[in-house]
Structure formats: C-alpha cells, structure tokens
Structure 1
Amino acid sequence: MEMDGRSSSSAVIEADSVSLQQSRRSKFIHQFTQQSLPACKPVLSPPFVISVFFVVGLIFIPIGIVALHASRSVVEIVYRYDGECVPEPYRSNKLAYIKDDSISKNCSKSLKIPKHMKAPIYIYYQLDNYYQNHRRYVKSRNDKQLLHGLKYHDASSCHPEDANHGHPIVPCGLIAWSLFNDTYSFSRGVVDLKVNRKNIAWKSDREHKFGKQVYPVNFQNGTLIGGANLDPNIPLSDQEDLIVWMRTSALPTFRKLYGRIEEDLDADDVISVNLFNNYNTYSFSGSKKLVLSTSTWLGGHNDFLGIAYISIGTSLIFIAFVFLLLHVNNPRPYGDTSNLSWNWKPISS
C-alpha cells in the first residue's frame, strides 16, 4: 500500500508539471499571437537619433582613415607589356605575330623599385577585357572529372573540348584549354630572384576539388592549341597554375597570383624582367599587365573600403547637423501632443 501511495503521488506531480508546462506554452503562444510579449521599445527622440548619427559617424571616420592608410602603404608596380613586347615590324598586325610560332616571344624589361618593398612580394598577371564570366565559357568544365579523372565518364558539359579523336581530355573544357601561358623570371644585377610558385592556390581547392591521383590526359593535343600545357606526370592537385586559373573571375578585369618573391627589394633597385609573351589577347583587344605588389594586414592596394567608411561617416555627421538645426529651430517638448492630427478639434458650425 505504501508503494502504491508513492507511485500515485509521483504520477500526480508529473501530471501537474505537464499541465504547468502546457499552460506556460499556451500563454506564450497567446502573447506571441497578440504581440504582447515583453520587448525593448526605445524612444526615438530627436536627441537620441542625433546622438546615434554623431557617434556612428565619429566611429566610421577613424576606421576609414586607418583602412585608407593601410591601402596607401602598399607598394605596387604595374607594367603593361602586351604592346611593348611586340617587335616593331608586327605592331600593325599583332595577331599575326602571336600566331607565328617561328617568332621569338622573349621580351626583357627593366623596372625601378620606387619604395622599399618588404617580402613577400606578390607577382600577379592582370588581364583586361577578358570575360571569364561568359555563360558558355563558365559551363565548359567538369568538376567531378577534375576530382575523379577518367573514373567519371560523362564529360558532355565540357563541349567543345570534351574529347579529341574519340579519346577523353583531362582536364576538359574551355577554361582549362585557355590556361594562361606567359612566364616571368626576375633578376637583380647578376643575381636571379627566386620565385616561389607553391601555395598560390586556395588550400580547399588543392585538397578537395582537384584529385591527387588525377593526371592530365590528351591535353592540348588537338588541332587548335589554347594556352599552356600541363605536365602529364604531375597530378592536378599539384598543378597550381591550373587551379588558380580555374577559379573564374566575375569581372572583365582581374588579377591572378603567379608567385612570390621572398626577399626584400630596396628603393631605387633596378630589377630585370624576362618574360615570354605567349598568351593571345590580341584577338579580342585585351591587354596584359605584370603586377608586383606588397601587402598589409588589410590585403593589397584597394582604396574602396577606406573611402566608403570615410564617406559614410561624413554623411552621417552631416545628417546629424541637419537634424540638430531642425530640432533647434522647431523643437517639440516631451508630452506635447497638441499638434497631433488625432487631437485636433473640429471647427463648430
């Protein structure tokens, strides 16, 4: 009997707790549907709004100045070489020059370092008027083939670079086929500057999007050669030029990382650049540039973020001043509701 009493009392307690939870839940649902839940309801008075605009503006402006200073401290050298590296007799017909394999594409240029450049110095190639976001171009690839190789047989999305004489192409598609193939080497005096070309691609791309056991097959063996060739003995996960190129750009002007110089360059140093002008941008009126750039904690040279913060902060302070003048000229005391439309008294007839 004692056990039965205990069990019945515990059952009553459990039933009471369940009913209590249900009542709380129903009360919460009722408050939610009736929009009567407790909430923060700030009073947006004119002084409060003006103060918020002032404070946010005063915060944004210093942030913009710091970001702009970081961007301006980047040392950048940009050299356009697609015109200068064409021999004089071919400058009126650059397309014939780039298509003629018998003409040397070697070109040398001396660049003067304007300021001290602290390592690492990033080497980019910049292409202008190159639409990597074209729908047919972007779709001409096969991500499963890049990861699994010939184990994945359906390469129809890579048309027209899906097969050559019935044999599959790895990597297939127009993006891989048009791989950038200009090369650069640098020297300071008689000493060559070593260019580190490792870890220029995203780690996630190297490890998860390009197969470690996938090797180039039948690549650039067709009648129409696109860009660079690939070493058939190196897996795609180690072909970082290809990985960088396959991450297509959304804009017609873009830069892609070529490598890094891992030693400082002093101001007024003169470095020699030996490049091979192989890539055809003349058929679509494009341009090619070589870019040497340092970096800061904010990245490379880009004034947009700093200018945006300064502009928004200045605008907020200006708006706060306008609101302040309006409030001083036409204040409304707290509790004064005589000017509200629903308190107006109708004019008696």
Structure 2
Amino acid sequence: MSSSTAPSSSVAAGSADPSGARRNSKRPKYSRFTQQELPACKPILTPRWVISAFMLVSIVFIPIGVASLFASRDVVEIIDRYDTECIPVDARNDKVKYIQTPGNKTCTRNITVTKQMKRPIYVYYQLDNFYQNHRRYVKSRSDSQLRSNSSANAVSDCKPEDYSNGQVIVPCGLIAWSLFNDTYSFSRSGQQLAVNKRGISWKSDREHKFGKDVFPRNFQNGTLIGGARLNESIPLSEQEDLIVWMRTAALPTFRKLYGKIEEDLQVNDVIQVTLGNNYNTYSFSGKKKLVLSTTSWLGGKNDFLGIAYLTVGGLCFFLAMVFTIVYLVKPRQLGDPSYLSWNRNPGWQ
C-alpha cells in the first residue's frame, strides 16, 4: 500500500511544479510576447488618412524629382567613341590583328565643347561588353598580397596569373593583368591641358586595401601581355590607375575615372585629344569611349533618379485624386455592418 501511495504523491508534487506541467503539456511557456499581448499600434486606415498619406508622398517626391532632373540636365557631358575611328581604314577588316601587332598606335581626335564646362572636368573611359563581374575574373586576385609585402606569396586564387618564369607576380590575378592601358592627353589652342591623376581612387582603398610596402614585381613579364605595365619603383598605394581598375564593375557597361582637368572649358573650344589606342576590346566586340563630364550636387549625369521620384509622386497624386472622388461621390460609413457579405446576401450558402 505504501509503495502505491508514494508514486501518487510524487505525481501530485510534480503536477504542482510548473516545469513538470510543461513537460506533460504542449502548451508553451506563458509570456506576453508569445501570447501576442504586448502593446501595439493598430491604426485604422480611414479614407482621409489614406488620401492624406498619398498627398504627402506626392508633395515630397515631386519637388525632389524636379530638382534632381534639373541637376542632371545641368551636367555637361561629351562622349566620343574612338575604338573604330582610331583603326586605320586598311586595317579595319582585321582589328584584332592590328591591335595585337606591336608598334605605335597613336590617334588624334578633335572634340568641340558645346556648352561651358566648369572645373573640375572629369575624364572617364567607358567600356561596353566587358564583363568584370564574371565569377572567375572577380576571384582572380589576392587581397592579402595587395595589402602587405609579407603576403607576397599568397597567390593561390590568382591562377593563371600567379607565377611567371617561376617567380611570383605582384600584383597577381586576371584583374590586375587586364589593366586598362589606353592613354589620353589634351590640348587647347596649342596649349597643353594637364590631367590631374591624384585622388581619383577611393581613399579607403588607398589606405587599407593597397599597401605602401608592396611594389610591382614580375608584372606583365609573361608571353601574353594583358594590359598596362606598372612602375616597379612606386608602391601600389600610389598607383591609382590600378586601384580604380581593381574595383570591379557590376555591369558590362561601365565607366572608370582616368583623371581631372582643372581648367574651365568655354563654348566652341576645340579640344585636341591624343590617344594611345592600345587596349584590346576587339577580341570580344567591346567598345571604347572617352567621356568628359562635369558634376552637380547630385553627381554625374543621371536622369533615372529624377524620373523615379516623379513617377512615384505622380502616381500617388493620381491615386489621391481618385480616392477623393470616390469618397465624395459614394461615401461609406466606417464600420457599417450592412456592407458585410453575409448581410448583403443572406442566402449565400
């Protein structure tokens, strides 16, 4: 008898224990959070609130869109495509052979300024149909090697541009190997226009991603040259053309900053551009363009942001007008049960 009463007393004691009760039940531990009893804001979207919200969005977005469009239209931009024009007429049937043949490939272009351009004037090169976002291309680099000379041998991710003649390549990888090597020089009325190439890269890249003690070594020393060469006496942190190029683009059409002209250009000025047409975009049907551009408070020329703001603001204004007309023509009493489906159609089942 005593043996049977002991278990019953233990069960009774266990039932009084909350943890024991939870073990015998699927009911979760009580809390205001799990039972969704926390204070909450449950706004009722009345017609007036909805119309006011749409009107507020339109009032804010439309002026921003107009200001963005005006800022974009104030940017003066000159684009000159030269990849075909800088090939001699008799060599245009085989452009790849021409670009791969050693020799001087200087080309002269004249650009007419159609609107005053205030300094600084940014010089970009634009490449089309160049997929810098290709997975193998993006992975072919060594960030640790770029940062520190002590990691010069960390080239495991750089194949096939990791070693040349049995020696480590610095900087290694396909990105550095394909460094853009077209050159530009500008003159106006016989006077040279200097191009400032300092400060064209991100400060964070110069200070944290490219080391001051890392110098190019054994670079472009193989049988196949991919692009520009680097000065072996200058550390990578000061070779800003390389730093700009190593920040890969997400789209196949992209621009990269080449330098800045620190002089104003006037209307009808004729800028003579001497190009070194060296970069091979002909093997993959790419295009090369030279871009001169000013900037505004919004940046470069880009109408998308202004159009997007105007579109959203205009749509909200249209919806606000539609809802206002519906509310005035056919108003509904808030919470009227007569609009419930089972009240409108009692025999719906």
Which TM-score bucket, shorter chain as reference? 0.7 to 0.9
* Superposed counterparts of 1:222-261, under 5 Å: 222-261=222-261
Separation (CA, whole Å) in 1 of partners of 2:141 and 2:151? 16
Letter in 2 for 1:200: I
Q: Which amino acid aligns with 2:81?
A: R
Q: Over residues 176-231 of structure 1, what are the superposed CA-to-partner deviations in whole Å (9 max), with x where a residue is unaligned?
A: 00000000000111211111000100000000000100000000010111100000
In the TM superposition, residue 335 of structure 1 has moved relative to its aligned partner by 4.3
Q: CA deviation at 1:143?
A: 0.4
Moved more, 52-61 or 300-309: 52-61
How far off its partner does 1:268 sit? 1.0
Pairs within 5 Å for 1:19-34: 30-34=31-35
* Contact kept in structure 2, 1:148 and 1:214, CA below 8 Å: yes
Contact 1:57–1:313 under 8 Å retained in 2: yes
Instruction: Give 1:346 shift.
Output: 5.2
Q: 1:318: how far off?
A: 1.3
Q: 1:150 to 1:36 in 2, by over 3 A?
A: closer
For residues 119 and 139 of structure 1, do their structure 2 counterparts lie closer, same or farther at Cα, with a shift above 3 Å needed? Answer: same
Amino acid in structure 2 at the alignment position of 1:54: M
Distance 1:152 1:232, change over 3 A: closer
The alignment covers a number of residue pairs equal to: 318
Q: Is the Cα–Cα contact under 8 Å of residues 137 and 174 in structure 1 kept in the other structure?
A: yes
TM-score by length of 2: 0.88
* 8 Å CA contact 2:75, 2:300 repeated in 1: yes
| Conserved? CA contact 2:107–2:275, under 8 Å | yes
Structure 2, unmatched stretches of 5+, are 1-29
Shift, 1:91, TM fit: 1.1
Per-residue CA deviations over 1:210-265 (Å, capped at 9, x if unaligned) read: 01000000000101111000000000000000000000001000000000001111
How far apart are the structure 2 equivalents of 1:277 and 1:335?
74
Q: Does 1:65 align with 2:79?
A: no
Residue 300 of structure 2 aligns to a residue whose secondary structure is coil
Between 83-92 and 30-39, the greater mean CA deviation after superposition: 30-39
Q: 1:280 to 1:34 in 2, by over 3 A?
A: same
Does 2:166 match 1:166? yes
Residues 149, 170 of structure 1: 8 Å contact kept: no
CA–CA separation in structure 1 for the residues paired with 2:154 and 2:67: 52
Aligned equivalents of 2:35, 2:290: Cα separation in 1: 64
Q: Where does residue 271 of structure 1 map in the other structure?
A: 271
Q: 1:164–1:218: 8 Å Cα contact kept in structure 2? A: yes
Alignment of 1:100-249 (within 5 A): 100-102=101-103, 104-149=104-149, 151-249=151-249
Tell me the percent identity: 63
1:92 partnered with 2:93: yes
* Larger CA deviation: 29-38 vs 215-224: 29-38
After TM superposition, the score normalised by the length of structure 1 is: 0.88
The answer to whether the 8 A contact 2:152-2:168 is kept is no
Counterpart mapping for 1:265-344 below 5 A: 265-341=265-341
State the SS of the aligned residue for 1:306: helix
Name structure 1 gaps, 5 residues minimum: 1-28
Q: Is the 8 A contact 2:152 2:170 kept in 1?
A: no
What are the Cα deviations for residues 267-319 of structure 1, in whole angstroms up to 9, with x where unaligned?
Answer: 11111111100000001000100000000010000000000000111111112
Q: Distance in 2 between matches of 1:316 and 1:67?
A: 18
For the residue of structure 2 that corresponds to 1:338, the secondary structure is helix
SS in 1 for 2:79: strand
For the aligned residue pairs, the C-alpha RMSD in angstroms reads 1.6
Distance 1:54 1:206 in 2: 46
How big is the shift at 1:333? 1.5
- Secondary structure of 1:172's match? coil
Partner Cα separation in structure 1 for residue 275 and residue 321 of structure 2: 57
1: CA distance, partners of 2:149 / 2:223: 23
Distance 2:243 2:311 in 1: 38
Instruction: Please report how far the alpha carbon of residue 125 of structure 1 lies from its aligned counterpart in structure 2 after TM superposition.
Output: 0.1
Following the alignment from structure 2 to structure 1, what is the Cα–Cα distance between the partners of residues 312 and 109? 43
Q: Give the conservation status (yes or no) of the 8 Å contact 1:141–1:174.
A: yes
Counterpart code for 1:141? R
Contact 1:74 1:301 in 2 (8 A): yes
Report which stretch shifted further, 301-310 or 84-93: 84-93
1:149-174 CA-to-partner distances (Å, cap 9, x unmatched) read: 35342312100000012110000000
Q: Does 1:56 align with 2:78?
A: no
